[in-house]
Structure 1
Amino acid sequence: MRAVDAPDVVFALSRHGHRTVRCGGTGPPPPAPRDRLRYELGSASKPYTGLLLAHLVHLGAVHGTDPASSCLRPERGTTVGPRGPITLTHLVTHTSGLPPLPVDFYAQALPRWGTDPYAGYPSRRVVRAFLRSRPRHAPGTRWRYSNFGVAVLGHALAAATATPWEELVTGHVLRPLDLTGTGLRPAGPETDATGHRADGTTPTPPLRIGGFQAAGAVRATPHDLLTFLEAHLTPDGTPLAAALHEVRRPVLRRGFGHRHTHTLTWFRHPAADGGTMYFHSGATSGQTSFLGFRPDRGGALAAVCNRRHGSTNALIPTAYALLWDL
């Protein structure tokens, strides 16, 4: 808690089904207990989107090799440029060749960069920017982290299934895993943690994600985060067993010596004792999160705080070290 230094901090650990939750912080106690509030996950929402894709593939509703353009503009067929089509798998694995954000995103976002930069960029602009994009690199050849790409994936899945995004995620992921403390939009201070800027005292407004829902809209209680991670530890017997097994499978390697391994949704690192860590982190304008699990140790860790630390963020390395030492 001292290392993280935020108004509200929660570390939630599960070991072989036994949960330990610790709460603290530098601020006064919030209206509800800290471990009962929902925290903004930011990019740690992406494992939910990847799991949804894996489940829809298992159901036969889509295929990972489907071109995203054919989902979004079926009347025109697949848009195949000189570098080939961008598939759904390319989008979720950050190998689409798309930039982190659309080129025209920054002009509208800069005036409110520290509060809600995504709010003014709606779904139609995300889709339009994608259909007009000309990636620098051929899809599947390079890894480049892209909120833009995962946002496009969400719109492609919604279009392919003719189902609104919130309804799609709720019906196929949240409800089957009994994630009743998880949502995709703000619900108010009695339910949601209030974020703070890097100074730890200036409040930030609730996240409004615009057309980037699939890349960062999830907010959840620490207990729900453990439920989500425990399903990854013991997939069998859950309604999403096939998809949960699939998202643990390595699909690409990158970096010097190919030391960085990725699954469909998770970063995958070797631990010091020979085990394997799966994890993802995220941040919004006022909150930070870390999700991770280790099947070899039967353990899962969710860590959240309501402060955006920027480049000096202490939550993520602290939580990573705790998962490493599990």
Structure 2
Amino acid sequence: MTRRPEPWPGIPLGSTGAPPPSHPSTGSYPDGERVRDLLDDAVDAVDAPDVVFALSRDGHRTVRCGGTGPPPPVPRDQVRYELGSASKTFTGLLLAQLTQSGVLSAGEPAATCLDPARPAGRDPVTLAHLITHTSGLPALPADFFLRALPTWHTNPYAGYPDRRVVDAFLRRRQHRRPGTRWHYSNFGVAVLGHALAAATATPWDDLLGCRVLRPLGLSGTVLRPGGPDTDATGHRADGTTPTPPLTVGGFRSAGAVRATPPDLLTFLEAHLDPAGRQLADALRAVRRPVLRRGRGHRHVHTVSWFQHPTGHGPMYFHSGATLGQQAFLGFRPDIGTALAAVCTRRFRARDTFVTTAYALLAEM
């Protein structure tokens, strides 16, 4: 008899108790001027052509923009920014929605979703392993770098299409039992997207759109490049050389989301207060810890988020980067606060963007 894997690797769901309750609204926005000053300081600290810090506290929003470049024709807070790996928070929410609604189980073998005639095997890689980076897959397929070299400085993912991602996964020999080691993998989350699309017989863009984007009212969120009037222009590490819009080939579920700052706040506000929303069960589910790792099990992960402690309660966050843009998404239910930060520069050696955004939310 084939052993069925646990729905989620690591610690069992619910073993740390229910998610913390959202911070009740006070009916007023405390320290509004102080918050604006903090956001302005954060914008000034990030050396990028375009910077937006958008904060929601108890439902009251404050958005501050700036940057070293000239103001674009469309206001900085009204264009879409590439989220890179922060797109995985959308993929995790989709998986939670599909499992909470009974469409599929997180314990489903990914290979069987992709090829129903394929036997699961003794220790299959499951959908849960893929989203929690415990599948044993490397960060990228073995032949990715060779294929990406011709477009390494423009669009390295564009030459690796859907079929090649799936084939690389189905052909790969398993060297480590899934669920035994955490290793961040764009490859794994890309495979997850294809597995979900195959299991539901729905193209990825349509699947995420009908089950996550539209239910949350995210009309300013898309999965493909638009144009100069809708999309921000990224810049390389020098802060001046522009980069072309990112196309991600077969890695859409791992990094294709583009969104406006207002949409990102709407997305995060749904996580802060799931009550009464269409995705309420899934939004609650992605706040529960499913995995602990590291010395003393200090690193906590949910289906979608990294979770760190603060002085009052947990902080959930995820960052992402493309060739020319970066994003930080985070929220704290203990103080009813969410932060969406984006910029149009790819920092490499000294990343002031992520450290500034993280510190701002952690120290609120």
The interval holding the TM-score normalised by the smaller chain is: over 0.9
Shift of 1:133: 1.2
User: Would you say 1:59 and 2:98 are equivalent positions?
Assistant: no
Q: Which residue is equivalent to 2:35? A: none
Q: Residue 310 of structure 1: which of 338, 345, 348 is its match?
A: 348
AA aligned opposite 1:283: A
CA distance in 2, matches of 1:159, 1:174: 19
TM-score, scaled to structure 1: 0.97
Given that residues 218 and 266 in structure 2 are in contact (C-alpha distance below 8 angstroms), is that contact kept between their aligned partners in structure 1?
yes
Q: Residue 266 of structure 1: which of 275, 287, 305 is its match?
A: 305
Classify the secondary structure of the residue corresponding to 1:70: helix
Aligned pairs for 1:25-174 within 5 A: 25-78=67-120, 80=121, 84-174=123-213
Provide, for residues 209-255 of structure 1, a one-character-per-residue CA deviation record: whole Å limited to 9, x for no partner. Answer: 00000000000000000000000000011100000000000001011
User: Would you say 1:289 and 2:327 are equivalent positions?
Assistant: yes
CA distance in 2, matches of 1:123, 1:44: 20
CA distance in 2, matches of 1:323, 1:115: 32
Q: Which residue is equivalent to 1:321? A: 359
CA distance in 2, matches of 1:260, 1:159: 32
Shift of 1:61: 1.2
Runs of 4+ in structure 1 displaced over 3 angstroms? none
AA aligned opposite 1:256: R
Provide, for residues 173-203 of structure 1, a one-character-per-residue CA deviation record: whole Å limited to 9, x for no partner. Answer: 0000000010000010100000000000100
Classify the secondary structure of the residue corresponding to 1:27: coil
TM-score, scaled to structure 2: 0.87
Q: What are structure 2's unaligned runs of at least 5 residues?
A: 1-42
Higher alpha-carbon Rg: 2
AA aligned opposite 1:296: D
Provide, for residues 81-130 of structure 1, a one-character-per-residue CA deviation record: whole Å limited to 9, x for no partner. Answer: 6xx10000000000000000000100011232222110000000000000
Q: Which residue is equivalent to 1:4? A: 46
Given that residues 312 and 334 in structure 2 are in contact (C-alpha distance below 8 angstroms), is that contact kept between their aligned partners in structure 1?
no
Q: What are structure 1's unaligned runs of at least 5 residues?
A: none
Classify the secondary structure of the residue corresponding to 1:310: coil
CA distance in 2, matches of 1:183, 1:21: 21
Calculate the aligned-residue CA RMSD, in Å.
Answer: 0.8
Q: Which residue is equivalent to 2:222? A: 183
CA distance in 1, matches of 2:287, 2:305: 8
Count of aligned residue pairs for this structure pair: 322
User: Would you say 1:223 and 2:262 are equivalent positions?
Assistant: yes
